[in-house]
């Protein structure tokens, strides 16, 4: 019979101790064997490298953490060699190239949640991923993606192009219902922006975005439609896009303004006005329904200016390239800068010619370092013709004209909904500066200055009334800023232009006074109860027929009272011009004091001045839909673009994406 010591030597896995609960087997014992060293001392031997580790001495057990580290952290030299010799990829259920088979089972720790497999949810998440990251729909059929998913979850049956296309459209339709409910809760009117994108097929896509302010006086915007227009330069392109949006979202009667970034002929504007006249009440005879994009106007003026000085700009760009594309040239440039003690802190960089702000910044930085450029070795064959001192002076003139354009456009990048009040202030300053510069007889700048002035005058002519009324709705400025700026712009003729704004404000206010004031459900319910009680006690004494004249009297006196609401607002003192002043928040606090005027202010302050996203404000070219998207059907493009934007907004009323419930 074997002795107890011989029995212990035959043990592979640790025997349970008497009167102790048996523990579950750890995964480390697939890589270690327990060996008896001496009486009461056992060690764990690695099956790979034969190195031994402490396991138990007497009643003390060392545990398995250090054994796990030996395997998991890659400190076992034999295991590392086996892994390095692997040439076949790992597949589930097969060996991994080592002598030891893969673990047969693992026990999850209490901190690891159990997530049940849900094939439908996986399909939903694939559709979400494609939408959110602009992945091609065909990626679900790419071999690399298929292999990855099969290794990740073999139970998931891969989907086809048609299936994932249907899932993406379903996501779009589901989110559209949420956006519809969201818009239905908006108390004010909706303003639209039309951002026209080109494509490599000479087609255009009109991105129609709705802007509105909610009941809590917070601004919102949502892409509502992407309408493919086969003939973007036709007179009906924009009106067709607007008609599609009004019909699709039931916005007839709620539209307040349209801002666009595409050249429109006079006939095109008339078509748009005619459409809006039929389906939407005109505000101020349609003067608020058309507006140009300020970002595109500023970009157009900047492009004209840079085109006029293109030869100078090219010379400076080539000089910057000479320095920045060679490490030795840049070191020499820094050395010369230190020797000349040039105080400039600007850093040189090569501009991106699709973004005019980068060209402006390149010119500013290079102009401050012109003395250093003049000391470079012009005999170097790599160095092209350097700008002369006259050309540097002309470059500084270009920068001087670009600066106010750059400052104004930079304001559009600070927020997704630029304020019309701020743009009013910037535009009238630019127009005043250009009017003064137009009298300059400089042969270099005079021709381009007049062209720039013409574009800013056209923008001001089309949008000044909208911008001015927005200024009046700001309690920090009211009519005072209009009077001040117009006196600077128009001189002796300022009074006539100021009166146009005053008349416009008053006329618009009267239109809001004439609008019916809807009763709240509580008020209506209380009114009905009161009418029943009166009729019970008084009979027909207070019937409608007996109070017709009284109703007329109430309307007349109410109208008079509403008119004084505007007068009271304009007569109050201006508020301090605080940097962080929230004009919408002020109207929210004063909506009971100015009930009609606050509704007018909400709609006016909704009007967007730009169609461009913050990252597209400085673009010099029209946005172009990529080749892949252009190959899709128009309705698919609309579904992918709109759903991507909608999914970025997280909220219980707007997103159908629920959190995964973990089963512990």
pLDDT digits (tens, 9 = 90+) for 23-78: 546 777 778 888 887 777 888 888 888 888 888 777 777 777 778 777 765 567 76
Instruction: Work out the pLDDT band at 230, boundaries 50, 70, 90.
Output: very high
Q: Which residues contact 262 (CB under 8 A, 6 or more apart)?
A: 194, 196, 204, 232, 237, 238
Tell which residue, 385, 406, 392, 409, has the closest CA to residue 444. 392
141, 159 Cβ separation under 8 angstroms: no
Q: What is the mean pLDDT of residues 310-321?
A: 92
The answer on pLDDT for 541 being more than 60 is no
Q: Nearest Cα to 192, choosing from 269, 293, 298, 279?
A: 293
Instruction: For residue range 368-380, list pLDDT tens digits in order.
Output: 999 888 888 767 7
Please state, as a whole number, how many other Cβ atoms lie within 10 Å of the Cβ of residue 361.
18
pLDDT at 395 over 90: yes
In terms of residues, how long is the chain? 664
Q: What is the pLDDT of residues 477-518, one digit of tens each?
A: 999 999 999 999 898 999 999 999 999 999 899 888 887 654
For residue 250, give both structure tokens.
Answer: 């039931």
Q: What pLDDT, on a 0 to 100 scale, did the predictor assign at position 554? A: 63
Q: What is the pLDDT of residue 653?
A: 38
Strands 255-260 and 291-292: parallel
For the residues 337-354, what does the mean pLDDT come to?
86
| Model pLDDT for residues 233-282, shown as the tens digit of each residue | 999 999 999 999 999 999 888 888 899 988 888 888 888 877 776 666 65
Kindly report, residue by residue over 200-217, the tens digit of the pLDDT. 888 999 999 999 999 999
How confident is the model at residue 437, as a pLDDT?
79
User: Of 609, 518, 596, whose CA–CA distance to 559 is shortest?
Assistant: 596
Give the residue with greater pLDDT, 175 vs 74. Answer: 175
Handedness of CA 521, 523, 524, 526 (dihedral sign): positive
Q: Which residue has the tokens 């104004």?
A: 408
Give the tens place of pLDDT for each residue, 488-498.
Answer: 989 899 999 99
Listed in sequence order, the DSSP H helices in 375-477 are: 389-412, 420-437, 446-472
Predicted pLDDT of residue 43: 86
Neighbours of 195 (CB within 10 A): 24
CA atoms within 13 A on the CB side of 438: 13
Per-residue pLDDT, 555: 61
Does the pTM of the predicted model rise above 0.85?
A: no
pLDDT at 48: 81
Q: How far apart are CA 257 and CA 606, in angstroms?
A: 9
Q: Please count the CA atoms within 13 angstroms of the CA of 589 that sit on its side-chain side.
A: 6
Tokens representing 403?
């600066």
pLDDT of residue 373: 87
Decide if pLDDT at 548 tops 70. no
- How many Å apart are CA 456 and CA 436, to the nearest integer? 14
**Sign of the CA dihedral with 453 first, then 457, 458, and 464 last:** positive
Over the chain, what is the mean pLDDT?
Answer: 81
Whether the CB-CB separation of 25 and 13 falls below 8 Å is answered with yes
Give the phi and the psi of residue 248 in degrees, each rounded to 5.
Answer: -65, -35
Phi, psi (5° rounding) for residue 317? -60, -45
pLDDT of residue 392: 92
Beta bridge partners of 45: 33, 52
pLDDT-derived band at 657 (thresholds 50, 70, 90) equals very low
* Per-residue tokens: 640: 């992918």
Confidence check: pLDDT of 440 > 90? no
Q: How far apart are CA 520 and CA 117, in angstroms?
A: 48
Helix (H, G, I), strand (E, B) or coil at 429: helix
Contacts of 104 (CB under 8 A, 6+ apart): 30
| pLDDT higher than 60, residue 113 | yes
Is the model's pLDDT at 10 over the cut of 50? Answer: no
pLDDT given for residue 75 in this prediction: 66
Closest listed residue to residue 211, CA positions, set 416, 7, 355: 416
258 strand-pairing partners: 192
What is the pLDDT at residue 162? 93
Q: Rounded to an integer, what distance in angstroms lies between the CA atom of residue 215 and that of residue 602?
A: 10
Helix axes 389-412, 356-368, angle to 10 degrees: 140
Which 3 state secondary structure label does DSSP give 158?
Answer: coil
Q: Where do we find the tokens 């060209």?
A: 359
Q: If pLDDT is split at 50, 70 and 90, which confidence band does 173 have?
A: very high
The candidate with the shortest Cα–Cα distance to 356, out of 316, 314, 319, 301, is 301
| pLDDT mean over 617-633 | 92
Query: Do 401 and 305 touch, CB atoms closer than 8 A?
Result: yes
CA dihedral sign, ordered 355, 360, 365, 367: positive
For the cut 90, the answer to whether the pLDDT of residue 556 exceeds it is no
Which of 430-444, 491-505, 561-575 has the highest mean predicted lDDT (pLDDT)? 491-505
CB atoms within 10 A of CB 260: 24
Q: What is the predicted pLDDT for the residue at 50? A: 82
């Amino acid at each position: 019979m074997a002795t107890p010591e011989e029995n212990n030597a035959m043990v592979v896995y640790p025997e349970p101790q008497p009167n102790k609960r048996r523990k579950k087997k750890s995964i480390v014992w697939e890589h270690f064997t327990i060996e008896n060293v001496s009486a009461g001392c056992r060690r764990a031997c690695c099956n790979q490298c034969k190195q031994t580790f402490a396991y138990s001495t007497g009643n003390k057990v060392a545990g398995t953490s250090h054994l796990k580290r030996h395997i998991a952290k890659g400190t076992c030299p034999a295991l590392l060699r086996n892994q390095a010799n692997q040439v076949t990829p790992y597949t589930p259920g097969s060996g991994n190239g080592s002598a030891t088979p893969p673990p047969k089972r693992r026990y999850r720790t209490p901190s690891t949640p159990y997530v049940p497999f849900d094939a439908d949810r996986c399909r939903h998440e694939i559709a979400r991923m494609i939408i959110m990251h602009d992945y091609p729909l065909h990626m679900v059929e790419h071999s690399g993606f298929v292999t990855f998913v099969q290794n990740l979850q073999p139970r998931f049956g891969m989907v086809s192009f048609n299936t994932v296309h249907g899932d993406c459209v379903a996501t779009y339709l589901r989110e559209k219902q949420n956006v519809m409910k969201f818009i239905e809760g908006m108390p004010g009117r909706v303003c639209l922006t039309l951002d026209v994108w080109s494509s490599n097929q000479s087609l255009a896509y009109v991105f129609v975005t709705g802007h509105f302010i909610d009941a809590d006086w917070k601004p919102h915007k949502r892409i509502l439609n992407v309408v493919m227009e086969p003939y973007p330069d036709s007179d009906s392109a924009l009106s067709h896009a607007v008609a599609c949006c009004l019909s699709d979202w039931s916005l007839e009667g709620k539209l307040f303004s349209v801002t666009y970034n595409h050249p429109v002929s006079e006939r095109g504007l008339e078509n748009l006005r005619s459409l809006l006249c039929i389906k939407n009440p005109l505000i101020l005879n349609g003067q608020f329904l058309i507006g140009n994009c300020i970002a595109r106007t500023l970009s157009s003026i900047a492009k004209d200016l840079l085109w006029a000085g293109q030869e100078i700009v090219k010379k400076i760009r080539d000089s910057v390239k000479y320095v920045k594309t060679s490490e030795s040239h840049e070191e020499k440039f820094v050395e010369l800068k230190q020797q000349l003690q040039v105080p400039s802190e600007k850093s040189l960089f090569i501009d991106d010619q699709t973004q005019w702000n980068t060209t402006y910044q390149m010119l500013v930085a290079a102009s401050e370092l012109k003395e250093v450029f003049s000391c470079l070795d012009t005999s170097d064959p790599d160095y092209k013709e350097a700008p002369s001192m006259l050309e540097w002076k002309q470059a500084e003139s270009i920068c001087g004209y670009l600066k106010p354009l750059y400052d104004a456009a930079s304001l559009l990048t600070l927020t997704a909904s630029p304020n019309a009040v701020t743009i009013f202030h910037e535009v009238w300053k630019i127009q005043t500066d250009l009017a003064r510069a137009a009298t300059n007889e400089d042969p270099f700048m005079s021709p381009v200055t007049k062209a720039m002035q013409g574009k800013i005058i056209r923008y001001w002519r089309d949008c000044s009334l909208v911008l001015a009324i927005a200024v009046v709705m700001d309690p920090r400025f009211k009519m005072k800023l209009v009077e001040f700026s117009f006196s600077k712009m128009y001189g002796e003729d300022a009074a006539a232009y100021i009166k146009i704004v005053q008349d416009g404000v008053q006329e618009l206010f009267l239109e809001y006074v004439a609008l019916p004031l809807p009763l709240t459900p509580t008020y209506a319910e209380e009114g009905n109860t009161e009418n029943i009680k009166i009729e019970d006690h008084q009979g027909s004494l207070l019937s409608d027929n007996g109070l017709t004249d009284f109703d007329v009297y109430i309307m007349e006196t109410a109208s008079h009272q509403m008119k004084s609401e505007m007068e009271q607002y304009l007569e109050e003192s201006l508020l301090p011009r605080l940097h962080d002043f929230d004009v919408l928040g002020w109207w929210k606090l004063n909506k009971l004091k100015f009930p009609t005027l606050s509704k007018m202010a909400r709609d006016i302050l909704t009007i967007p001045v730009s169609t461009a996203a913050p990252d597209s404000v400085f673009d010099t070219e029209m946005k172009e839909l990529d080749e892949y998207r252009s190959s899709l059907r128009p309705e698919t493009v609309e579904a992918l673009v709109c759903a991507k934007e909608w999914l970025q907004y997280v909220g219980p009323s707007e997103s159908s994406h629920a959190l995964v419930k973990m089963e512990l």
